[in-house]
Structure 1
């Protein structure tokens, strides 16, 4: 009874879930029944130990299809549901409690009607979500069961191939399997048609296949030689593309030979499959051979791994050996599976192949270890040992040596599946990594040909980024090589597309793409508007340069903020779900980022109030220079020494700043001048005024001022104070006026004094006697009275000594 009720509930759930599907049609009873039957069958198959892997895979695919439908059903009518919730929120909460004022009847009726509509829409969505959870759980259980079985198979053991008792039965099983394949066609009635009718097609396919196999390599080499003779900077690119013909032409020839054998109708179905398998394995062998030709290239300049020519030839040889052995092992395993071999036969026949492949893999590991051989003493090797590639090659080489030792041991003790899951995947991993290196080199050559850098482009950043992208793209192939099922990758991709939950919001990669696209559009529009304002609109106004820069910068901040807000809204990200994160972030800002926030706010204030602008001459602290840039966090000042000083914006807001060019460039210059006592002060004043007024940078309104400030110790001290049109030329103006003052004073006979002192000795004869006494050899005792001195200032200026330094003279 409970089982019946459960099925009825599932049927109703499917009806409601599919009622709001994108097609707008109700699910048929057959679809409802199919979901119920499929779910029950999947659960029963999981409980049964006799379920095959193929059966579980089929049930999983069916569950994935149902889960996709439920996923789509959960998102139906989301806009209508959101509208109803907003309407209920607009009505406000219903009054509660005994003393609450009763709600108006029409409002209460509207509320109940909205609740009914909302409930009607939520029921199928909620039930679809429940069935989605069930389908997802079944898929997870099937994946886990398949993984467990795969792990158990790896640990299965077979009789050791080292026992001679199993050798003869193994050979007999191989012989019987080959005989069964050969005799398959007569048992099914012989050839499907007359051989004479298919003979022209067979011969044509055979001839064309043999030509492509044996002549394809020569044709590709001939094309490469002709391209080399033509020259050009893109030769490396064309050589890479033409080298692919070494794969495609022989591979096409193998497929033609397989089709020729099948066209005869002489062989059975399983042998026909063998022919196609052989063609596929031959193509794989050609591809691996091509990768080895790129990694262990014959030319030193094209080799991806820096080894000697002899080592590269050995590397190509062992790669070919391993590839051929893997192909032979696959064919042997396929032939044995066509018969009824004993458990030990496959282990016995594959063991020699495994040992030979392990030996070749060992030599490849030794070659990879030579890339960073510490015995190399040249400079290139020393640099290479420190590079990342050398460390990776050394790691891969050690891994190859370890696999080469472990694999034969596992095969010898009977763990054939474990050995088979170790050596071929490791070799294919090396091949895929070599393919990534070859494609990265090709990308570098293309980039060098486009930019004209040539082979120097191989050391730039862009090929490295392209190699990283290739490595990410090859990750799924590496996972498949190591036994990961395709369904595991598809499930991982589904989880990635599903995204993650933040609060009540589900954020998926499509949301990130939408966010990036909208933000990019907003950012580009902001930059375009800024460019138009800066180059076309603002220069036609009367706004000064600092104001124009402030408007452009402020518009950039506002545009980026609006672009971010639009991107968040367009991506459907609910900011209310990030309230907790924002609260934690605010605490972090309060403790650790307060200086950054302070500088940011100060930068906004600088752009709004504009106490300083770009191009202003300012002095802050002990730094003086021109403002060259105002950013969000700091301001860049170029000093007169042509050095940049980065000043935090908070220092400009909270500290004292002197702006010499705020609003305009008019400024005052003060020039001190000293003349000798006895000079005509009015004449000096007139001369200084004429000199100041004659300079083109000095404004006449207000006029220059000449002041006799002090009667100094050595001169009459004047000051010339004048206002300049541009204070930035202060030093130039002072230099010009000083030169003119010197010339005018010399012309008018006005002297510019300098400090001079005369020293008078009051009793020089006493000094002479004291000095002469020691020279006569008389003993000296007691104290010597020093001569008295007196100073007198020469009232008349005297010409300076030609040998005395500039300044005071004694």
Structure 2
């Protein structure tokens, strides 16, 4: 079916080329030759896939060749896009072509023909490249599927059981013969004149390499400690940075010594083919030993720095021994694989040789599982410590269960003859476990460096940087883990290639390149917008006569416009063509409009507030019974600080659609009303005069309009008066009212004016039952303390401004 589709696409391309005319259908000689080579390669690949007899190595080579063609066709199908668009616009500018017997001017017809020929000449290679790219994609997918099927079949294939005694002697014979062959090759080469001549010619260089290698192997650790001492003298004592770098030198210098020693042995020419292949793997095996020993040492250093709270010294030492054993077993596993490749041994021999390594590795994994941490009490007052400890415990428990399963399953599979499956489980588990440990160690090191450079110290462990570094390292480790667990390198390359090509969403292609371009451009635009806002807020606007509310509106509006322009420019530069999403966006906008209509309403209301400015930052307002000062106007809501020092978040739509009382809109002038009651029989004109003098003497009361004293009427217990005055700043209303009351009390006492209080007559039914004494007359003093006006306004609460208290502003 797939071949029929490819044939149909090819016929379509050919038909298009024929319709476009002979001149346009012809590719250049170089393009035609390259395309013919591709057709032959594709036909050969289809034959190989159908036969399914080629080796894995041959399929990998064929895939690599096809992948090269695919990359070229991918570049070619996107070539001349701008030129094609320009020609299409030119043809569109000429108008529609005449239909039927209609004609158009000769010059326009000639120009249209010329433009059509150019357009077709550019489209033909693009269409052919598109068809070839699709075919290459399909062939690569078929090859990958074939290789994966073979890999799965090999993994699940059952071979001879290593517990069968009939396989033991042939396996021993094969191992013995391989060792003898290795020894005989070296002995024969050593007796040849060629090797003797090479030793004489390269003897001095070989001795120099051996000497340097020996020095590095014996003195590398000592030199590493000396270098660490010098580095610690630069500063950062106690951060662990230089200790980490010193530990790296402890493994780099000895490994370099091993590599020099291997080069010296290879230069002798004594080794044969087997010995050379074996010696080429020695640096890799040495790296495994040093790497696993480094992991164990870092665990020891980390636990020692913590006082061995989580793992005791004995447990850490035991864990280091297990890591060294695992390194040795991994090397034995690699040696078994090399033995299989060189000698081409039977499946039975390989099962017998690999079985002890698998069992020993599984047993050590079970022993590692038994190394448990001590439960350390965590301070409940530190949420981050509690969460981190809980997360770490869950991770450790998961690893323990996985190790238990793998330690049990691997030997059982090997005993049943599933040697490949057992190896594919136990050894990747070891590598993954050590890789996770290495990631944790490196993450702690980078966090320590950040804490040292930033001066945060141990606090850097709970910083955002530590989390981001851990997340980034986890992402980078995923390809390595995939390779450990059987993924082919070409699989990862294919995933990366598909990722680079991008994915299509509603006709818009999103790839890492244009996505990161969008992020970078938007981040730059966002940063410039914030810088512009900061300059307006701190430098330019304070020097103008614009009120604070207007300044806040200008800064906020600049931010919204800047972010919108940054997004628009980023989309344009990244190359996102959003025209194809217009219909989808229109359909989604209806549903989003219903679901987010409240948010949209608040957003629009916020813009209206910034433009019309019925309220501004710092205004004293009353909305829905909530009274306070406007502290911030955002795009969705407004924050009001009440007189109780609590923040109230009010949706912007309530400020636009509801009734809002703004006491300080435009100015801070307001009125205060102070009610006063005097006893019946008091001279009302005198009271009026005294209250007028009190009102005029207050510094916060305006002289124009002058304050007034109103005789309200005859109350139930008193003659009711009111002082009505206009204040310079209404925010001082409580202070002025308090000062006036103090002054009224003082003047009334001086003038002998009585402030009445409610009196009631009490009738007793049985007074004879009561016994009491005459009350002593209370002493009255004419001494009245002096009062002074307040220097600061009194803090107000909403209860102070309740209805009916006389504070009508």
Q: CA deviation at 1:215?
A: 3.3
- In structure 2, the residue matched to 1:202 is 206
Inter-partner Cα distance in structure 1 for 2:545 and 2:378: 64
Aligned pairs for 1:43-54 within 5 A: 43-54=46-57
Q: Among residues 562, 566, 569, which one is paired with 2:569 in the alignment?
A: 566
Question: Contact conserved, 1:366 with 1:401, CA < 8 A, in 2?
Answer: no
Task: Give 2:806's aligned residue.
Answer: none
Change over 3 Å in CA distance of 1:553–1:378 after alignment to 2: closer
Cα distance in 1, alignment partners of residues 129 and 508 from structure 2: 18
SS in 2 for 1:674: strand
CA contact (8 A) 1:673 1:719 kept: yes
Aligned match of 1:726: 729
- The whole-number CA distance in structure 2 between the counterparts of 1:4 and 1:221 is 69
Partner of 1:551: 554
Structure 2 match to 1:144: 145
Question: Are 2:324 and 1:323 equivalent residues in the alignment?
Answer: no
Change (3 A) 1:735 1:572: same
Match of 2:71 among 68, 71, 75: 68
Query: Does 2:337 match 1:333?
Result: yes
TM-score (structure 1 length as normaliser)? 0.86
- Cα deviation per residue 1:73-123 (whole Å; 9 max; x = unaligned)? 11112112223334455566668899xx99888777766665554333322
Identify which of 380, 388, 392 aligns with 1:389: 392
Q: Does the residue aligned with 2:629 lie in a helix, a strand or coil?
A: strand
Closer, same or farther: CA 276–339 of 1 in aligned 2, 3 Å? same
Rounded to whole Å, the distance in 2 between the matches of 1:5 and 1:220 is: 68
The answer as to 2:87 corresponding to 1:79 is: no
> Bigger CA drift: 476-485 or 87-96?
87-96
Q: Deviations over 1:570-589 (max 9, x none)?
A: 22222222234423432333
- Residues 681/10 of structure 1: CA separation in 2 closer, same or farther (3 Å cut): closer
Does the aligned pair in 1 maintain the 2:443–2:466 contact within 8 Å? yes
Deviations, residues 458-479 of structure 1 (Å, cap 9, x unaligned): 2334212211111111111111
- 2:312 is aligned with 1:311: no
Partner of 1:756: 759
TM-score by length of 2: 0.86
Which of residues 478, 499, 518 is equivalent to 1:515? 518
Q: Map Cα deviations across residues 576-610 of structure 1 (whole Å, 9 max, x no partner).
A: 22234423432333332111111111111111111
Q: Is the 8 A contact 2:508 2:581 kept in 1?
A: no
After superposition, the Cα gap between the structure-2 partners of 1:91 and 1:745, relative to the gap in structure 1 and judged at 3 Å, is farther
| C-alpha deviation, 1:204, in angstroms | 2.5
Per-residue Cα deviation, 1:613-634 (whole angstroms, up to 9, x for no partner): 1100001112100000011111
CA 1:231/1:391 → structure 2, altered by over 3 Å: closer, same or farther? same
For the residues of structure 2 that align with 1:322 and 1:634, how far apart are their CA atoms?
61
Shift of 1:219: 3.9
Contact 2:709–2:724 at 8 Å: present in 1 too?
Answer: yes
Name stretches of at least 5 consecutive residues in structure 1 with no aligned partner: 17-23, 776-797, 803-810
SS of alignment partner, residue 710 of structure 2:
strand
* Of 657-666 and 288-297, the range deviating more from structure 2: 288-297
Query: Do 2:379 and 2:386's aligned partners in 1 also have CA atoms closer than 8 Å?
Result: yes
After TM superposition, the structure 1 stretch with the greater mean CA deviation from structure 2, 148-157 or 632-641, is 148-157
Larger Rg, first or second structure (1 or 2): 1
Preserved contact between residue 239 and residue 457 of structure 2 (Cα < 8 Å)? no
Aligned residues: 758
Match of 1:247 among 232, 246, 251: 251
Hey, what's the Cα distance between the residues in 1 that align with 2:131 and 2:308? 55
Are the equivalent residues in 2 in contact too, given 1:530–1:552 (CA < 8 A)? yes
Q: CA RMSD in A?
A: 3.6
Deviation readout 1:429-475 (Å, 9 max, x if unpaired): 00110111101111221122123332343233421221111111111
Which residue of the other structure, out of 339, 343, 346, is the alignment partner of 2:347? 343
**Residue 427 of structure 1: how far off its partner (Å):** 0.3
SS of residue matched to 2:305: coil
Secondary structure in 2 aligned to 1:300? Answer: helix
Name the CA distance, whole Å, in 2 between partners of 1:737 and 1:305. Answer: 70
1:616 and 2:619 equivalent?
yes
Q: Judge which range, 618-627 or 574-583, deviates more.
A: 574-583
Where does residue 597 of structure 2 map in the other structure? 594
Q: CA deviation at 1:148?
A: 1.4
SS where residue 370 of structure 2 aligns?
A: helix
Residue 377 of structure 1, CA deviation: 8.5
Matched, 1:356 2:360: yes
Q: 1:606 to 1:799 in 2, by over 3 A?
A: farther
1:265 and 2:266 are equivalent in the alignment: no
Unaligned 5+ runs, structure 2: 20-26, 772-776, 782-809
Name the SS for the 2:281 alignment partner. Answer: helix
